[in-house]
């Protein structure tokens, strides 16, 4: 746009207009004037040129300027005074003048609840969101985003209005149907689609279980060590959460009853691949746990968080499939297979609980996002989901092997590596004295994220370890990262 | 596809293949065989034709058939036995054989927690999800889904990988920035973008407030009547929730202190447009409420649920903008302006609480959905959001007027109509004896949803009323619906 510009305002606006942009000029002008007001370039009470003058200066049609002015007026940015012109609106307290919150300051614990205090207790070493060796994060570089976007776009175009409402049925029915089929074949989970509830994440699944099956002050058990976030979610729901030790067969059922304590309402367990130790629960232990649950009337919550990625040929079926007495609630997630930000997970509840859980899901969280759920159903139904799992299974298996070899090469026999039949991480444990916190801090300075095993424990214990995720680190970077990790350890 | 078909299986598969479909034939064949197995047409142990034979029968290339078989084998649907062919897999317990949960049965209350019991207490009359006169639902028929889908698609294509992760910053930063500007201009809310947290709905916003600012057993106040769902969410978070009466100026501040009860931690209020009575809180009452909050150290949660739709020229600014002592948490939602299933809402917290709330949001709910948040930022920034609000404001204002006139015509002076400066509903109240439940049941049989005012009350009260939503009913249907409602009343 070349023109003879007569005012600084026109100058400024011209710089923000482009005839080549996809956006109509009217909208560009609207945005440019609004920005000038928000930035304080135009101040309250200031008079604007007439639409005729501005149109001429900007070489726009007068109707373009008038439409932009109309919208700005309707939103309060401009005010027209009859006979005297258009002015920047008063009573526009600029948000730019509000200072940012002091993020560095200590949170005002005295203002907060006790459970907030539990939530805010942070691990000593902060982790980067990706890279070597953040645990629990899948690699999205290989995800077929183009296909996924196409499926979403198709549903968003064809069925937008149809899928724009709330959902009161526990999730999009065709998604629950394909998921029931998938779980049956892949995990030997036995369920009718109406036993499945789609949630916005495993935390929501856990929260729903806690609220439906336990009241504030009720006792619940988790594995020791366990996923810290899961424990926090149950504590925030008012539960008193105790840890139960894990041995080589899984959670120690005979240590669940503690004299003086009431029987727990809920037990959270990770039978496929104990989190974070990686141990699969033995078949005898599974039967023992189910018998305990049945005898005590306890609910077992089975978190099958990453079982899609298993590298042995004969995985044990899900605990849910062994349960003949409706004591197991099965949790799964799409975050590990698809991508973290998707926010779609699910739970499979016993038939007797399904109607109540469906009502509560609606009342507590008011679910929606049906376009996304429909696209996911299409993605699974067309086989893309299974193809992607198969592909990633190969990639992760290779990464695990490379990581295992590098660790064995650089760390002596005093460091013990976990088994590797599944998942997205390995643990490296030691019993000898070692300044683990210092190691993690020095590693962070080198761009390495080392998550300490002690982060996952409620009780202090001799020795320590690292939970090393290989999901989010490229195969070719693993060996160098392990070497760096070793160097930093010795520093 | 025309060919000489020699087996029933080939027949069946051919019927499901189309050379014109967008999906590759290999995927179509995979899906067709899988479906045949799931439907029980192919049974466990059954032998399939060789890939060569099937390719010939279906006039497909052999590689197409081989690839489909490979995938089915990898997923366990098929099993290859060396030298003897390919068979339908064993150990495929069909989910089709699992009976559906008995939805008609009473939920097993004895198995559930007490708070689950509170959640499951349902209103006596069930409402349809849309139509005359469901309250609290916006009309999506006028929403620019095509533009919205285009914006999502652009972000999903360009920035998919970038926006595929979890969010730990309280929401997509550019969305929080445009939202801060919007709230300042539209509602006189004064905040820095870092005081804003994006949530998946007002229920999540309320849940976060409850958990951060109160422990189980703490007292909280809501208006009487109020949005029942909000009360349920706080009860499910373990709070003891009491109702405070509402008069013509809003919530009665001098009835908040009850002797023998501790001071509340939280007060939930709807100053712009009391829900469901429709009364705006007077300026003196606002100052009284803020003074009370300051003196008692109480947090005020301001739910500004539908203030975008106001039809008077001079609305009062948000309570948040009047608060100089950081006692107000402001809640807003995009569901009423965009569409219900979007699941994006927000809260604005005092600067002192922002860092703690941000950490807790991440820990409790693990937010994501950044593509959606980025598209929404674009939608607001380009002015589409404001344009849509302006358009709907005109439509809803007309609907309210039509509804008001029809109600005045068909119902006598013993029925009192609420004021109509804002929102998506009117209330019709009466003091004389009237079988309201019977009316609602008869109306439901005619396809009319009548929500009783008593549904929103914790305490029984003389008289009753209806909360009539006009958001989800077409303007031209309103008068007939009111006539039908009157006929059903007299029946």
CATH number at residue B403: 3.90.1150.10
On whether both A313 and A168 belong to a single domain, the answer is yes
So what's the pLDDT on residue A308? Answer: 84
The pLDDT, as a whole number, for residue B417 is 94
Indicate whether A200 belongs to any domain: yes
Whether A79 has a pLDDT exceeding 80, the answer reads yes
Checking if the pLDDT of A358 tops 80, the result is yes
Q: pLDDT value at position A295?
A: 93
- Per the CB < 8 A criterion, the answer to whether B402 and B478 are in contact is yes
Question: Is B110 part of any domain?
Answer: no
Share of chain B above pLDDT 70, in %: 93
| Contact status of A67 with chain B (Cβ, < 8 Å) | no
Cβ–Cβ contact B416 with A under 8 A:
no
pLDDT the model gives residue B317? 84
A254 or B7: which leads in pLDDT: A254
Position A218 scores a pLDDT of 95
* pLDDT, tens digit, 9 for 90 and up, residues A136-165: 888 888 999 999 999 999 999 988 888 998
pLDDT > 50? residue B248: yes
- Are A202 and A275 in the same domain? yes
pLDDT of amino acid B332: 97
Q: Which residue in chain B has the smallest CA separation from A23?
A: B382
Q: How many CB atoms lie within 10 A of CB A354?
A: 23
Confidence of residue A250 (pLDDT cuts 50, 70, 90): very high
Q: Are residues B341 and B456 in the same domain?
A: no
Which residues, in sequence order, are CB contacts of A165 under 8 Å at separation 6+?
A368, A370, B129, B130, B140, B339, B340, B341
Give dist(CA B178, CA B191) in Å, integer. 12
CB B458 within 8 A of CB B224: yes
**In a domain? residue A95:** no
The residues in A 100-159 lying below 8 A from B, measured between CB atoms, are 100-103, 105, 107-108, 111-116, 119-120, 122, 129-130, 140-141, 143, 145-146, 148-149, 152-153, 156-157
Tell me the percentage of chain A whose pLDDT exceeds 90.
58
> Both A80 and A187 in a single domain?
no
Range from A244-253, B25-34, B388-397 carrying the lowest mean pLDDT: B25-34
Residues B363 and B417 in one domain: no
In this predicted structure, the answer to whether residue A394 has a pLDDT above a threshold of 60 is yes
One domain, residues B391 and B379: no
- Give the model's pLDDT for residue B5: 42
Residue of A173, A213, A299, A368 to mutate, testing the B interface (most B Cβ within 10 Å of its Cβ): A368
Whether the per-residue pLDDT at A123 is higher than 70: the answer is no
| pLDDT on residue B138 | 85
On the question of pLDDT at A344 being above 90, the answer is yes
In the predicted model, what is the mean pLDDT of residues B113-118? 90
Q: Looking at the structure, tell me whether residues A371 and A416 fall in a common domain.
A: no
List the single best residue of B185, B205, B348 to mutate versus A (max A Cβ within 10 A). Answer: B185
Average the pLDDT over A325-349 and give the result.
95
In a domain, B2, yes or no: no
B115 touches B236 (CB < 8 A): yes
- pLDDT tens per residue across span B281-292: 999 999 999 999
Span of A116-130, A294-308, B91-105 with lowest mean pLDDT: B91-105
Q: Is residue A395 part of a domain?
A: yes
A414 and A471 belong to one structural domain: yes
Domain boundary among B41, B65, B88: B88
Q: How many domains does chain A have?
A: 3
Confidence tier at B97 by pLDDT (50, 70, 90): low
Mean pLDDT of all residues in A87-112:
66
Pair (B289, B376) in one structural domain: yes
| A105-A108-A109-A113 Cα dihedral, nearest 10 degrees | -140
Exposed/middle/buried for residue B324 (C-beta within 10 Å: 0-12, 13-18, 19+): exposed
Residue B233 domain-assigned? yes
The verdict on whether omega for the bond into residue A60 sits within 30 degrees of 0, i.e. cis, is: no
DSSP at B341: G
Residue A122 pLDDT exceeds 70: no
Q: How far is B414 from chain A (nearest CA, A)?
A: 34
Q: Which pLDDT score is estimated for B485?
A: 95
- B297/B363 same-domain check: yes
Is B352 found in the same domain as B210?
A: yes
Query: Structural domain of residue A300, as residue ranges?
Result: 164-383
Q: Which helix (H) or strand (E) holds A328?
A: strand A328-333
Phi, psi of A452 (to 5 degrees): -75, 140
Domain membership flag for residue B102: no
pLDDT of residue A348: 98
Query: What's B32's domain CATH number?
Result: 1.10.10.10
User: At A8, is the pLDDT very low, low, confident or very high (cuts 50, 70, 90)?
Assistant: confident
Decide which of A364, A383, A402 is a domain's last residue.
A383
pLDDT tens digits, residue range B346-357? Answer: 999 999 999 999
Helices and strands of chain B, counted as H and E runs: 16, 14
User: In this predicted model, what pLDDT tens digit does every residue of B307-319 receive, in sequence order?
Assistant: 888 887 666 789 9
Does B225 share its domain with B263? yes
Q: Output B89 or A198, whichever has higher pLDDT.
A: A198
Query: Quick check: is A485 in a domain?
Result: yes
The least confident of A31-40, A122-131, A411-420, B201-210 is: A122-131
Whether pLDDT at A97 is above 70:
no
pLDDT for B22 equals 73
What would the pLDDT profile of A361-382 be if each residue is shown by its tens digit? 999 999 999 999 999 999 999 9
What pLDDT score does B4 carry? 40
Q: Kindly report the CATH number assigned to the domain that includes residue A346.
A: 3.40.640.10
- 3 state DSSP class of A73: helix
Nearest CB partner across the interface for B232, out of A363, A371, A386? A363
ipTM (interface predicted TM)? 0.83
Q: Which of A357, A383, A409 is the last residue of a domain?
A: A383
CA-CA distances (angstroms) from residue A32 to A10, A27, A66?
A: 10, 8, 14
More confident residue, A228 or B2: A228
B308: nearest CA partner in chain A: A75
Over residues B369-395, mean pLDDT: 93
Confidence check: pLDDT of A251 > 90: yes
pLDDT, chain B, mean:
88
Say whether pLDDT at B95 is over 50. Answer: no
For B380-440, the DSSP string reads: HHTTHHHHHHHHHHHHHHHHHHHHHHHHHHHS-TTEEEPP-SBSSEEEEEE-S---HHHHH
């Amino acid at each position: 746009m070349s023109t003879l510009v007569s005012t600084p305002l026109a100058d400024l606006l011209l710089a923000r207009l482009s005839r080549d942009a996809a956006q109509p000029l009217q909208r560009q002008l609207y945005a440019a004037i609004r920005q000038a007001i928000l930035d304080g370039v135009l101040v309250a009470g200031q008079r604007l040129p007439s639409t005729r003058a501005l149109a001429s200066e900007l070489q726009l049609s007068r109707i373009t300027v008038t439409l932009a002015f109309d919208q700005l007026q309707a939103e309060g940015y401009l005010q027209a005074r009859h006979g005297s012109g258009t002015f920047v609106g008063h009573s526009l307290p600029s948000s730019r003048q509000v200072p940012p919150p002091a993020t560095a300051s200590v949170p005002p614990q005295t203002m907060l609840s006790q459970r907030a205090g539990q939530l805010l207790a942070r691990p000593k070493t902060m982790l980067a969101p990706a890279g070597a060796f953040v645990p629990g994060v899948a690699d999205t570089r290989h995800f077929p985003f183009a296909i996924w976007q196409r499926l979403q776009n198709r549903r968003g175009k064809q069925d937008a209005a149809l899928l724009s409402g709330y959902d009161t049925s526990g999730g999009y029915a065709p998604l629950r149907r394909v998921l029931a089929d998938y779980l049956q074949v892949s995990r030997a989970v036995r369920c009718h689609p109406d036993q499945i509830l789609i949630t916005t994440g495993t935390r929501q699944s856990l929260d729903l279980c806690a609220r439906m099956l336990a009241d504030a002050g009720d006792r619940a058990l988790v594995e020791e060590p366990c996923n810290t976030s899961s424990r926090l979610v149950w504590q925030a729901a008012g539960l008193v959460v105790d840890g139960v030790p894990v041995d080589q067969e899984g959670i120690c059922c005979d240590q669940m009853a503690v004299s003086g304590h009431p029987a727990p309402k809920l037990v959270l367990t990770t039978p496929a691949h104990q989190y974070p130790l990686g141990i699969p629960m033995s078949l005898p232990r599974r039967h023992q746990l189910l018998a305990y649950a049945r005898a005590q009337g306890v609910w077992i919550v089975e978190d099958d968080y990453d079982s899609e990625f298993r590298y042995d040929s004969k995985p044990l079926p899900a605990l849910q499939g062994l349960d003949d007495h409706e004591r197991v609630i099965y949790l799964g997630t799409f975050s590990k297979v698809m991508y973290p930000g998707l926010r779609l997970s699910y739970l499979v509840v016993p038939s007797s609980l399904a109607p109540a859980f469906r009502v509560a899901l609606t009342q507590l969280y008011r679910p929606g996002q049906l376009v996304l759920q429909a696209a996911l159903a299409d993605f699974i139904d067309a086989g893309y989901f299974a193809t992607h799992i198969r592909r990633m299974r190969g990639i992760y298996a290779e990464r695990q092997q490379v990581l295992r070899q590098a660790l064995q090469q650089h760390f002596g026999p005093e460091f013990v590596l976990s088994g590797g039949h599944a998942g997205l991480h390995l643990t490296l444990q030691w019993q000898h004295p070692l300044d683990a916190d210092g190691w993690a801090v020095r590693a962070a300075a080198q761009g390495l994220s080392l998550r300490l095993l002690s982060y996952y424990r409620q009780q202090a214990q001799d020795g320590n370890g690292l939970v090393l995720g290989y999901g989010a680190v490229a195969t070719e970077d693993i060996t160098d990262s392990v070497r760096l990790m070793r160097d930093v350890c010795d520093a």
